[in-house]
Amino acid sequence: MHRNTYLLVVVLSICAALLVGVNIGKRLKPPTVATPAPPAGGPTPVIIMQTYTDAYCGFSLVYPSTFTVLENASGSAILHNPLDKTQSITLTCQKAIPQPALTADKIETFTIPDAGGSSISAKLYHESSAEGATIDAVIFRHPGNGMDSFVAGYGDAFDTAIRSLRILP
């Protein structure tokens, strides 16, 4: 089998495994956690944001400190909230990530600032599962290392993370 065919099969297998895992995770009942309501007129809780830097892929983003970070040796990571299954971010990079086959109305052009003050163009894909859950993904090519980066997820934390994406030099 040609190397490119092999890489395509590997990438598609990884994407399929992530999507299956996300769908299985949605079917599990989240743990019931009793959170006391803040007193009326009291202060609203402050969400502390942290910066996640992926030196291998060459970008950084912010995420809530309540998230757990699971990294592996290949530069991939999953950031998720163990108490809220509706909040998750998946990150990876490699050469030539295949673009999802979606209609033009589900694809947006997205700009990401880099350290030099300019920006690069990226594509933001909006995909819906059969159950109606929306999973968004940003795919872009890093100008320095030439690798494609894939940042996917759902929830408010994902929206904040992609707005905070920065390309590292």
More confident residue, 168 or 44: 168
Give me 144's structure tokens. 């320095």
The amino acid occupying position 103 is T
In this model, does residue 140 exceed pLDDT 50?
yes
DSSP of 13-30: HHHHHHHHHHHHHHHSPP
Q: What is the pLDDT of residues 17-76, one digit of tens each?
A: 666 665 655 555 444 444 555 556 656 667 788 999 998 889 999 999 889 999 987 778
> Residue 58, Cβ neighbours under 10 Å: how many?
22
pLDDT at residue 4 greater than cutoff 80: no
For the chain, domains (ranges, CATH) are 49-167 (3.40.1000.10)
Reported pTM: 0.68
Give pLDDT tens digits for 110-134: 899 887 788 889 999 988 777 777 7
DSSP string, 143-162: TTT--EEEEEEESHHHHHHH
